[in-house]
Structure 1
Amino acid sequence: MPEMPEVETVRRTLEPLIKGKIISNVTIWYDKIIVNDADFFQRKVVGQKILAIDRYGKYLLIRLTNNLTIVSHLRMEGKYHFLDSDAPKQKHEHVQFTFSDNTYLRYDDVRKFGRMQLIETGTERRNTGIKNLGFEPNSEDFTLDFFLNRVKARKRAIKNVLLDQSIVCGLGNIYTDEVLWQSKIHPLSIANKIAQDSLVELFYDINNTIKIAIQYHGTTFHSFLDADGHTGKYQSMLKVYGKSGEPCSRCNTTLEKIKVNGRGTTFCPLCQVVYK
């Protein structure tokens, strides 16, 4: 699944391509992508101008005129393609926005898990999945005190706590493995047993890793592409994710992979401390 750095990369590359364009038609080839009634979605969106694209966590917020917003979640493999001329529909393209200048935006999703929801602008925290999200790394609200209080109240494995979007919004499997390695915390450590100084380091590692990952346009594993069709570059900086069986770059111990709540998790069995 694209995580926060990948979704931010999509936002940054997509906005200059479609901002200011007027939607003249919407073609929906797979209705389940649309959370609203498909006819309602088409009727309301046609004729609107795209004002901006915002993001919260892993959600894209496509701002339209008439106080409307399309909330888009890419889920596992969703991606957008911008076309400057019409082209035959590809197998996994499910929604097309036609603009008044005869350019096109298509939503492609192999697994069909992604969703779009049309809402009144400003109601995303009441009417969409965003209402269940916590604060983003590097935001004013994501303070050290907030993080410490939330983590210390949990008796679950720290890997599961970090994946809980109500605590840290935007972290997924890739960056969770990376920040736990950086802070030398074993993924099965019980959250409220972890030493305070290690949690402080974890907080700063989360912020720094997300910041750098965005600068490098995210991580490409399998199918992630930005709106220009380019891959991310952060995968060249990964220390543990996808490297099971390789030597740890810090201590040379062979990295191991286990399942934590069904999620593949790679770690160093020597330099990542287990707190129980």
Structure 2
Amino acid sequence: MPELPEVETVVRTLRKLVVGKKITSAKIVYPNLLKQPKNITEFENQITGRVIDSIERIAKHIVFHLDDKVLISHLRMEGKWFYEPRDSQTNIKHQEAIFIIDDEMQLAYYDTRKFGTLHWQDEKDFREQKPILTVGPEPFSEIVSANYLAQKINKSRKHIKTILLDQTITSGIGNIYADEILFEAKINPLKCGNELDKDDFEQIIKASRFILNKAVELGGTTIDTYQSAHGIDGKFQNYLKAHTRVGKPCKDCQTTIIKIKVNGRGTYYCPACQIL
């Protein structure tokens, strides 16, 4: 699943390709992709003729700004945006939306799992509506401090791995980076929120910023079927210290990395470095 670093890589790629370009026609191929509005014809008519003014990332969401409207894309498991020649037949059975651009190209959305979403909302108040309304601050935000995490977490009986995946507390962290952050902070994923102290929260913040910045710098992590766009592979998988390394020696202490399930999510950690 694309997480904050992968989505940031997609946004940076798309900015270079489509900002300033006009959409001359639009077609939603897979109706369930468009969550708002429900009227597909209305949406296709409204977006036609608009220029893509800018693109930003909010947590794991891609936000296309088009004058007084925004198109909000969430890639979910395996969604991908491609800028390609018009009428391209690339992986046609997984094509869910096509936006024809005024330079004989098209911006197309593909999704093999069909979990991705699009929301078409007003620019003036989209931050006060779902899906953005419920998104918590990113670890980079000044809002995220030891005190902030203490207020949100220190009475929770949930495991810290599960808490890090809660996008309403802090946003942008998914399964891969939660494992790497907890390894970097030397915190066991099975520890509960009410077992952590101020130093733990500070270590989580420090580790989150370090890991996510490094992953963004390297274009994200390419694991299984995920690529950001246009076949771009991330390089952060070459630096993973916990995630996917079950049975391999810890890079810090040589203890064997183990894999468990935490709230149904595959979780990798070092039992020596991350003592419960």
Superposition TM-score, scaled by structure 1 size: 0.95
> Mind listing any 5+ residue stretches in structure 1 that lack a counterpart?
none
- Which of 235, 238, 258 does residue 236 from structure 1 map onto? 238
Alignment-derived partner of residue 119 in structure 1: 121
Contact 2:17 2:83 (C-alpha < 8 Å) held by counterparts: yes
User: Deviation of residue 212 (structure 1)?
Assistant: 1.1
In structure 2, distance between residues paired with 1:2 and 1:10: 10
1:211 deviates by 1.0
Q: Which amino acid aligns with 1:191?
A: G
Is the counterpart of residue 3 in structure 1 residue 7 in structure 2?
Answer: no
The percentage of aligned residue pairs carrying the same residue is: 38
Deviations along 1:93-136, one digit per CA (max 9) or x if unpaired, are 11100012211111010011101110001322332222111101
Q: Counterpart of 2:272?
A: 270
Rounded Cα–Cα distance in structure 2 between residues aligned with 1:31 and 1:113: 12
Alpha-carbon distance between aligned partners in 1 of 2:123 and 2:210, rounded to the nearest angstrom: 31
Give a deviation string over 1:53-78, Cα, whole Å, max 9, x none.
0111100000002x000000000000
Partner of 1:19: 19
Deviation at 1:92, TM superposition (A): 0.7
- The whole-number CA distance in structure 2 between the counterparts of 1:123 and 1:242 is 40
For the structure 1 residues 234 and 141, does the alpha-carbon distance in structure 2 shift closer, same or farther, using more than 3 Å as the test? same
Q: 2:249 & 2:139 partners in 1: Cα distance?
A: 29
Deviation at 1:24?
Answer: 0.6
Structure 2 matches for 1:173-188, cutoff 5 A? 173-188=175-190
Q: What's the C-alpha RMSD, in Å, of the aligned pairs?
A: 1.3
- Aligned AA (2:78): E
Aligned to 2:89: 88
1:78 aligns with 2:79: yes
From 164, 176, 192, the equivalent of 1:162 is 164
Number of the residue aligned with 2:31: 31
In the alignment, is residue 69 of structure 1 matched against residue 98 of structure 2?
no
* Residues 224 and 232, structure 1, Cα contact 8 Å, conserved in 2: no
1:85 Cα shift? 4.0
State how far apart, in whole Å, the 2-side matches of 1:18 and 1:261 are.
Answer: 40
CA distance in 2, matches of 1:153, 1:16: 45
Which residue type is aligned with residue 22 of structure 1?
K
Q: Is the Cα contact below 8 Å between 2:98 and 2:106 reproduced in 1?
A: yes
Cross-structure match for 2:110: 108
**Which sections of structure 2, spanning at least 5 residues, go unmatched?**
none
Is 2:99 the counterpart of 1:97?
Answer: yes
- Equivalence map 1:129-168=2 (5 Å): 129-168=131-170
Alignment: residue pair count: 273
Shift of 1:142: 2.2
Structure 2 length normalisation: TM-score? 0.95
Deviation per CA, 1:200-251: give whole Å up to 9, x if none: 1121001111111111111011222233321111111100101111111111
Q: Which runs of 4+ in 1 moved over 4 A?
A: none
Match of 2:203 among 201, 204, 224: 201
Whether the 8 Å contact between 1:26 and 1:97 is mirrored in structure 2 is yes
Amino acid at match of 1:207: R
- Kept after mapping to 1: 8 A contact 2:182/2:189: yes
**Structure 2: distance between partners of 1:214 and 1:122:** 29
2:218 aligned residue: 216
Partner SS state of residue 91, structure 1: helix
1:26 is paired with a residue of what secondary structure?
strand
> Which amino acid in the other structure matches residue 8 of structure 2?
E
Q: Distance in 2 between matches of 1:143 and 1:97?
A: 41
Distance (whole Å) between structure 2 residues aligned to residue 116 and residue 210 of structure 1: 25
In 2, the alpha carbon distance for the partners of 1:78 and 1:147 equals 31
**Given that residues 81 and 229 in structure 1 are in contact (C-alpha distance below 8 angstroms), is that contact kept between their aligned partners in structure 2?**
no
Task: State whether residues 146 and 201 of structure 2, in contact with CA within 8 Å, keep that contact through their aligned partners in structure 1.
Answer: no
